[in-house]
Amino acid sequence: MNKVDRDRSRRRLAVDRLMYFLCFLCVLIAVVPLLSVLYYVAASSLAIINFSFLTGLPRPPDEYGGIGNAMQGTFIVVATASLIGLPIGVFAGIYLAEYGNNRIGGSIRFVADILAGVPSIVVGLFAYSFIVLAMKRFSALAGGVALAAIMIPIVARTTEESVKLVPNTLREAALALGITKWRTALYVAVSTARSGILTGIMLSIARISGETAPLLFTAFGNRYWAVGIDQPVETLPVRIFNYAIAPYDRWHAEALGAAFLLIILMLAINLLVRFAVRGRYSPTR
Amino acid sequence: MGFGDLVFESVAAGFAFCIIALLILIAYELIAKSALSIDKFGWIFLISTTWDPVHEIFGALPFIFGTVVSSILALIIAVPLSLGVAIFLSEMAPSSVRFPISSLVELLAAVPSVIYGLWGIFVMAPILRIHVQPTLAKTLGFLPLFQGPMHGVGMLAGGVILAVMILPTISSISREVLRAVPDVQREAALALGATRWEAVRISVLSYARSGIIGAVILGLGRALGETMAVTMVIGNRPEISASLFALAHTMAAVIANEFAEATYDLYLSALTEIGFLLLLVTCFVLTIGRLLVWRIVRVPKGVTL
Amino acid sequence: MADKIGIENLNAWFRTNHVLTEINMSIPERNVTAVIGPSGCGKSTLIRCLNRMHELVPEARVSGRVLIDGVDIYGRDVDPVQVRRRVGMVFQKPNPFPTMSIYDNVAAGLKLNGERKRSKIDEVVKKSLDMAALWDEVKDDLGKSGASLSGGQQQRLCIARALAVEPEVILMDEPCSALDPIATAKIESLIRTLRENYTIITVTHNMQQAARVSDFTGFLYLGKLIEFGETRQIFSNPRNELTERYLSGRFG
């Protein structure tokens, strides 16, 4: 190897090392906001979190109030959304996986992917016009419908992907035993895929628990405990938003406290799912 | 086909068709409620800069401008970073480090928008106001982009926070695209004596190019519709300015801010029309992105678009 | 020796690909019949036509008659699901249901077809595992996952699962090709035992295995049945030149 070759290969190695470094730098930069958010919310909220904060009702800005009704409301709205959205989403996903290998299935799949990307505020507009106007009031139901509309395409696709992963030889084994196609689909394919399906469900619940925009004018808000699904309710994300943009310092602190709680909830679900899924789906790259 | 089979398939199909029905229903409701505003303002709505609820004159251009500019700014910041992350995770990282790092990146996507907004108001905006914006004004102040009063919040803040939020989307889809490139391609390059980076450049990136473009477009789709974080840091002033320091507004943000306060039908209708425009634009962008990515790979579980 | 299965003018297609051409064959009852031939000759397709699994593939077609005990299983009023209960199948790669225990795997066919009585299921599970020569190895741990067994044990589990629905015919699609020699030997001896009560048709690309295990052999080449007869005769004195060339390894 002469001098030119040696210089060239030294330069190539230098470029290689530089690119490695740059890519690693990108990772560091990407991770900074996450760590900053987590640290900031955790640090600022510890002072304010106590039993009365978690279980109390909101107070005027000259006192410290609580997020009890917000947590209750979030639970009600998410539960409503799940009751509506999960059956539709899961069965749609089963259909796509077992019977959807044709043009119709392809178009449903495509629409589901588009629907999953529709801005959540637009979904809120839809729920406003579809439910709030019809009922002539804001309600937890309207919020639940909005969140269900967000949930359905996500759950459908994750369910489909999980069921599709079940190897075909299992279906064949069941069919060869003389088991009917629908029982094979339900009791063999879906049953084998159940942990993947559950994962998808949990991730979608985590996702909608944090949604704010669609609730702004559907579930709206409420200074008191929720009394019914046909009344407006307070939810954690909406409370965080309203308090964060208000001019009162105390409310800022409460917003951070509520945010801490919400983050704990979301991260817990996501980490749980990542760990549960690790063995089965860990990519080799 | 037995009776049980028929019933099961029909029921499942019914649920599946709900998805198409849902999209149609959403579009229908929005069009119906925008009718008032469309009738009154027509095409002028799209190019008028007057947004005056008091005098009942509405024009959407400031919001369209804000949405487009903040999204493009977000892409400029996020795309190189996302690709760096994707390439690092897919091609370079040792396997022990892959899981924790990719978990961290995906956790970025798990944080709700409103919490990013919260952090944006109290942490990011002050940093912009005190450190970043003055530096930009000093070094690049001859450009109209970096002139004018510095509030911290504003178009720049909007773009940065959007970048943070779309980074996990672009990087995880890109990573799936890179994974779909068969190993034989990489091995062919390495067998020729290429370095690791050269192998990536020659064999992987060109093969995955349309998929990566698709990932970027899907990230754009997400940025266009992002609401809460943006409305909390962008300043919410419906003005068009050449400066990134200026306060701005976006389509999603104005709906979030003003819809609950809108007191009369035309106001509601104008906001709904903006929502409808947003729906059209995002559907269009997502369709293109999907077509590009689908050719190569399926979208990973749990990725929010 | 009666004929259990009569195949008359059987043709099969994958789209426009004519995979089986005018197959005429009689499978004697309670014997082991081997189907041999080079890769791609249609062996798997042939046995899949015998339990109406071939038609499950989109754009696959069958014509001709397959008579089991004199009744055409492709007849207009015949329910394919019923056919598959009378004709069991064991696949190339062992495929126990991964989320079910050993017990549930064997019981799967029964339970999914509506059997509720616990005592009856217990009895069938024991009998099937016994017949599959697996009972002694797993009887203390029936609740263990089906996937936790070794490859050979998994394949015997699949055989037990097939036996549990009490078929009359058992089809085996290269049952040993994914197994090591010791497990293979166990399965081969199991096949010899099962033959007393079942009609067995096994596809194999391993000629020596066919010679060891079967009573009758059919040689398939490019979708046509070239020769059929007693194994002894085929292997020592094949009537067709093509058969002889295949058996002596001149192609394959």
CB-closest option in A26, A121, A262 to B115: A262
pLDDT for B1 equals 59
Note whether C89 and C54 are within 8 A (CB).
Answer: no
Residue of A nearest to C82 (CA): A178
C88 and A188 within 8 Å at the Cβ level: the answer is no
C95 and A172 within 8 Å at the Cβ level: the answer is yes
How many domains, chain C?
1
User: Over chain A, what is the mean pLDDT?
Assistant: 90
What is the C-alpha to C-alpha distance for residues A158 and A196, in angstroms, rounded to an integer? Answer: 8
Which chains lie within 8 Å of chain A at 3 or more CB pairs, if any? B, C
Chain B closest-CA separation from residue A168 CA (Å): 18
Q: What's the CATH number where A136 sits?
A: 1.10.3720.10
Instruction: Tell me the fold of B61-294.
Output: MetI-like fold (1.10.3720)
CB-closest option in A170, A176, A183 to C51: A176
Distance of CA B252 to CAs A145, B66, B225, B230, B271, Å? Answer: 20, 10, 6, 8, 10
Residues in chain C within 8 Å Cβ distance of A188: 97, 108
Residue of B nearest to A104 (CA): B17
Domain span at C49 = 3-99+171-247
Residue A247 lies in a domain: no
pLDDT one-digit tens code per residue, B127-143: 999 999 999 999 988 88
Q: What does the pLDDT average to over A224-233?
A: 91
Could you give the 3-state DSSP secondary structure of residue C206? Answer: coil
* Residue of A177, A179, A180, A191 for testing the chain C interface, max C β-carbons within 10 Å: A177
Which DSSP symbol is given to B299? P
Chain B closest-CA separation from residue A5 CA (Å): 13
- Predicted confidence (pLDDT) at residue C63 exceeds the cutoff of 90: yes
Q: How confident is the model at residue A284 (pLDDT cuts 50, 70, 90)?
A: very low
Give the Cβ contact number of residue B286 at 10 Å: 25
Residue of A nearest to C163 (CA): A177
pLDDT for C81 equals 85
* B249 vs B209, residue with greater confidence: B249
Note whether C111 and C121 are within 8 A (CB).
Answer: yes
For A:143-172, CB contacts with C below 8 A are 167, 169-170, 172
Residue of A nearest to B193 (CA): A9
- Predicted confidence (pLDDT) at residue C202 exceeds the cutoff of 90: yes
Q: How confident is the model at residue A51 (pLDDT cuts 50, 70, 90)?
A: confident
Say if A207 is an interface residue toward chain B (CB within 8 Å): yes
pLDDT for B302 equals 44
Residue A51 lies in a domain: no
Residue of B nearest to A209 (CA): B112
Beta strand B51-52 with B57-58 is antiparallel
User: Over chain B, what is the mean pLDDT?
Assistant: 90
Say if A173 is an interface residue toward chain B (CB within 8 Å): no
Q: What does the pLDDT average to over C112-125?
A: 86
Amino acid identity at A220? F
Q: What does the pLDDT average to over B137-150?
A: 89
Per-domain residue ranges for chain B? 61-294
* B301 vs A60, residue with greater confidence: A60
pLDDT for A42 equals 93
pLDDT for C113 equals 74
Residues in chain A within 8 Å Cβ distance of C93: 169
pLDDT for A283 equals 42
Order of strands across the sheet that contains C169-173: C87-90, C169-173, C199-203, C32-36, C216-221, C224-230
Q: What does the pLDDT average to over B167-174?
A: 93
Residue of B nearest to A260 (CA): B115
Chain A closest-CA separation from residue B295 CA (Å): 13
pLDDT one-digit tens code per residue, B73-87: 999 999 999 999 999
CB-closest option in B7, B164, B275 to A122: B275
Say if A110 is an interface residue toward chain B (CB within 8 Å): yes
Residue of C nearest to A188 (CA): C97
Q: What does the pLDDT average to over B180-203?
A: 80
pLDDT for B251 equals 95
- Predicted confidence (pLDDT) at residue C79 exceeds the cutoff of 50: yes
Residue A269 lies in a domain: no
The count of CB pairs under 8 A between chains A and C is: 66
Chain B closest-CA separation from residue A96 CA (Å): 7
**CA B169 to chain CA mean position, Å:** 9
Q: How confident is the model at residue C1 (pLDDT cuts 50, 70, 90)?
A: low
Chain B closest-CA separation from residue A264 CA (Å): 10
Residue of C nearest to A101 (CA): C58
A177 and C97 within 8 Å at the Cβ level: the answer is no
Distance of CA C175 to CAs A50, C138, C184, Å? Answer: 65, 21, 8
Residue A149 lies in a domain: yes
Domain span at A77 = 71-236
Residue C213 is encoded by which pair of tokens?
Answer: 């295990």
Residues in chain B within 8 Å Cβ distance of A23: 84-85, 87-88, 92
Residues in chain A within 8 Å Cβ distance of C51: 176
Which chains lie within 8 Å of chain B at 3 or more CB pairs, if any? A
Tell the residue number behind the tokens 């009154």, with chain if given: B40
Residue of C nearest to A167 (CA): C95
Note whether B208 and B181 are within 8 A (CB).
Answer: yes
CB-closest option in B108, B255, B287 to A121: B255
Q: What does the pLDDT average to over B164-188?
A: 88
Query: Residues C51-57: contacts with CB within 8 Å, 24+ apart?
Result: C51/A176, C51/C83, C51/C84, C51/C87, C51/C88, C51/C89, C51/C169, C51/C171, C52/C80, C52/C83, C52/C84, C53/A172, C53/A175, C53/A176, C53/C84, C53/C89, C54/C12, C55/C80, C56/A172, C56/A175, C57/C14
Radius of gyration, alpha carbons of chain C? 18
* B188 vs B93, residue with greater confidence: B93
CB-closest option in A40, A94, A266 to B110: A266
Q: What does the pLDDT average to over B201-213?
A: 82
End-to-end CA distance of chain A, in Å?
A: 35
CB-closest option in C82, C83, C91 to A173: C91
- Predicted confidence (pLDDT) at residue C11 exceeds the cutoff of 50: yes
How many domains, chain A?
1
Note whether A242 and A220 are within 8 A (CB).
Answer: no
Residue A57 lies in a domain: no
Q: What does the pLDDT average to over C60-86?
A: 90
Ramachandran angles phi, psi of C227, nearest 5° = -155, 150
Residue A168 lies in a domain: yes
- Predicted confidence (pLDDT) at residue B299 exceeds the cutoff of 60: no
pLDDT for A279 equals 53
pLDDT for A272 equals 81
pLDDT for A285 equals 44
**CA C207 to chain CA mean position, Å:** 16
A262 and B112 within 8 Å at the Cβ level: the answer is yes
C82 and A178 within 8 Å at the Cβ level: the answer is yes
Q: What's the CATH number where C240 sits?
A: 3.40.50.300
pLDDT for C196 equals 92
CB-closest option in B118, B197, B287 to A256: B118
What is the C-alpha to C-alpha distance for residues B135 and B57, in angstroms, rounded to an integer? Answer: 39
Which DSSP symbol is given to B235? B
Q: What is the predicted ipTM?
A: 0.89
Residues in chain C within 8 Å Cβ distance of A167: 95
- Predicted confidence (pLDDT) at residue B89 exceeds the cutoff of 70: yes
